[in-house]
Amino acid sequence: MADDNLRAHFGDLLTKAEVVIYSVLAALLFITALVSSISAAQTLWQGVRQWTLSVETLRVLDDLLVVLMLVEVLHTVNISIRSHVLVTEPFLVVGLIASIRRILVITLQAASLTQSGAWSTTTEALFRESMIELALLGILVLILVVSIVMLRKSERPENQVEAK
């Protein structure tokens, strides 16, 4: 009996510690997302003021996608605090956003490589490596999307009664 009380007390203590850690993590994620949003807004404003928006587009998009990933992780932490269950779908979504973010960055970098017009062996090797990375990222995006769809199909609503 005393052993059960000790286990219950220790379990409650660990649950409270988990909530405190998740809460600190959520606060740090929120601050990071807020600072990244402000940074993206400043970059966008400078691009508009100096008429260099086309140059700053990649940085703004990159910052905003980082904010989107942070918010998705923050959502996952929120779910974990409320339900004490680790949910996998938000992590798949973060991976999907990160992959798409990288695809956009590589595409814009490859476009700048091809616009220069001067092809050297180094430029050609960089372009070839970029295309290989893009292909692998495309496969990864496809796998993540299929995983998310399969995960959603496997979850049954609680109010749905199985037909017999």
Count structural domains, the chain: 1
How much is the pLDDT for 30? 95
Rounded to whole angstroms, the Cα distance separating 83 from 80 reads 5
Residuewise pLDDT in 10s, the chain (164 residues) = 678 888 888 888 988 898 899 899 999 999 999 999 999 999 999 988 888 777 788 788 888 989 998 998 898 888 878 887 778 888 899 899 999 989 988 888 887 777 767 778 888 888 899 999 999 999 999 999 999 999 999 876 654 545 44
160, part of any domain: no
- Predicted TM-score of the model (pTM): 0.70
97, part of any domain: yes
Rounded to whole angstroms, the Cα distance separating 100 from 68 reads 12
35, part of any domain: yes
114, part of any domain: yes
Rounded to whole angstroms, the Cα distance separating 102 from 31 reads 23
How much is the pLDDT for 158? 56
What would the two tokens of residue 93 be? 């979504």
Domain holding 71, by residue range, is 2-154
How much is the pLDDT for 129? 93
How much is the pLDDT for 35? 95
